[in-house]
Structure 1
């Protein structure tokens, strides 16, 4: 599945009588993570609240290199309840909710998407880093990224341009969700989706494990949609048929990009061949040779390079998940 819009983490500014005391409370009692704004933003998603501590909330520069920033996997209202119930409310002088972003994933021509949004909602173009750090903003911020929305995103993962739209955050978010496909098509400039047939071959019959690996990567990288699956038989050599599991796959990514992902899954971390993932675009089979950088590269060489690129794209938890499945595959057969 491809996610096209989500919210950023929530932002709460707390003016306090004792910066050190409330900081110790967040770390010792609520188990908050403390760091700089840029580091924290890359470790959070919409389930988190980022808290800024200051002794002067009226200052024009609440956020500076010395600002204490905390991250908690809690809603802001739950955090305030904990502060009250833990009898720490005496440390809080005043509060402010800082701007939160709506993050849209885009493909293709971002200029057309921005133009369409400005036409529908008005507003103006701003700089995302300046806007994210401007706690005086009253407009809603729409940020853009070409990265999957399922992962944590830092400010560097966002396009430098954002939109400042004079509409309440929740109302704008509801409206955008209703029109997402329209804005997606604006960026694609009427480009069609790719329809692929992915065929899994494995003489050891560990199809369910290969499917789990593939499905996990498709979901984690938000590559596209699986809209059909079926078993069939294929003639591998003359007078011999083998089972094949076929997947009907729709995506916005080019054939070579998807083939590169599949090649990275054909081998294990120690370069042992696990299975074949053949990719068909219409009647054309996309060959691994199209990915070779020179005539000397073998199929294993290409797969090893694709494997490294794939691993670099995945978070550590996904890499561990895939490696565990591959241990199960190699443990069930002699390779």
Structure 2
């Protein structure tokens, strides 16, 4: 189960050649001209949203974009392609927006957000506002209580996001060390549920059933497997059967699982 992952990067292109720039990004880099919210929902952690604006801005924002192009590649690849294809002459300036982190929330979500604000001295922002205010060495953390392996719909994000004036490497390092503890502290009664799932099979196809269970768990992201072992289950008095037991730790209630 992922507790957090990176989101898309943001590049702001200032140019007098709006159509030429967007055409280059589409043809050479496989980009797609798109609305912001649609692009945000389709973007993965390896994607980049490119905002193409005119040159009459001291600082470019999402609202200034004449065109928005979604490219399913990282910002460094895009920038190197521009240089290698001699496309720099069509551009006046390129700015990089803040990094974006998607974090899983559970339990008392407001408590988790407030704690991270305190730790990182962050400020609450809306999505478009945060991208506009943030600089290349800043980081936005967005929160959701849904699985984050794939794309996350905009409606599944919490209303609160945090803009942190620190680079993403520093923020990610802190989250790796403290993220699990902070999520645990935000849970009801500060504890996870421990579920013991027994796999029975009269034909002995334990491996097949185990793989099915792991596939479902990985897709649903309902918790972490912290133990596995063979054990005996006494379904009938004085009669035992072998079963393979998986210990699942989850912040989802047994009824929901």
Under TM normalisation by the shorter chain, which class is it?
0.7 to 0.9
Structure 2 counterparts to residues 1-335 of structure 1, below 5 A: 2-56=1-55, 58=57, 62-64=61-63, 67-132=66-131, 134=132, 136-138=133-135, 140-232=139-231, 234=233, 243-258=242-257
Residues 128/51 of structure 1: CA separation in 2 closer, same or farther (3 Å cut): closer
Given that 1:122 and 1:165 are in contact with CA atoms closer than 8 Å, whether structure 2 keeps it comes out as yes
Given that 2:55 and 2:92 are in contact with CA atoms closer than 8 Å, whether structure 1 keeps it comes out as no
Per-residue CA deviations over 1:207-229 (Å, capped at 9, x if unaligned) read 32222221112112221122222
Which TM-score applies when normalising by structure 1? 0.67
Q: Which has the higher contact order (CA 8 A, sep 6+)?
A: 2
Residues 176/250 of structure 1: CA separation in 2 closer, same or farther (3 Å cut): closer
Deviation at 1:236, TM superposition (A): 6.1
Given that 1:140 and 1:164 are in contact with CA atoms closer than 8 Å, whether structure 2 keeps it comes out as yes
Which TM-score applies when normalising by structure 2? 0.85
Given that 1:36 and 1:67 are in contact with CA atoms closer than 8 Å, whether structure 2 keeps it comes out as no
Per-residue CA deviations over 1:299-335 (Å, capped at 9, x if unaligned) read xxxxxxxxxxxxxxxxxxxxxxxxxxxxxxxxxxxxx
Deviation at 1:160, TM superposition (A): 0.8
Given that 1:36 and 1:65 are in contact with CA atoms closer than 8 Å, whether structure 2 keeps it comes out as no
Aligned-partner SS, 1:87: coil
Given that 1:125 and 1:162 are in contact with CA atoms closer than 8 Å, whether structure 2 keeps it comes out as yes
Residues 237/156 of structure 1: CA separation in 2 closer, same or farther (3 Å cut): same
Per-residue CA deviations over 1:22-79 (Å, capped at 9, x if unaligned) read 2222222221233211111111222111111222361777534974222223221211
Given that 2:12 and 2:50 are in contact with CA atoms closer than 8 Å, whether structure 1 keeps it comes out as yes
Structure 1 alignment gaps of length 5 or more: 259-335
When Rg is computed on C-alpha atoms for both structures, the one with the higher figure is 1
Report the number of matched residues: 255
Residues 221/65 of structure 1: CA separation in 2 closer, same or farther (3 Å cut): farther
Per-residue CA deviations over 1:64-116 (Å, capped at 9, x if unaligned) read 49742222232212111112212222222210112232222111112222332
* Aligned CA-pair RMSD: 2.7
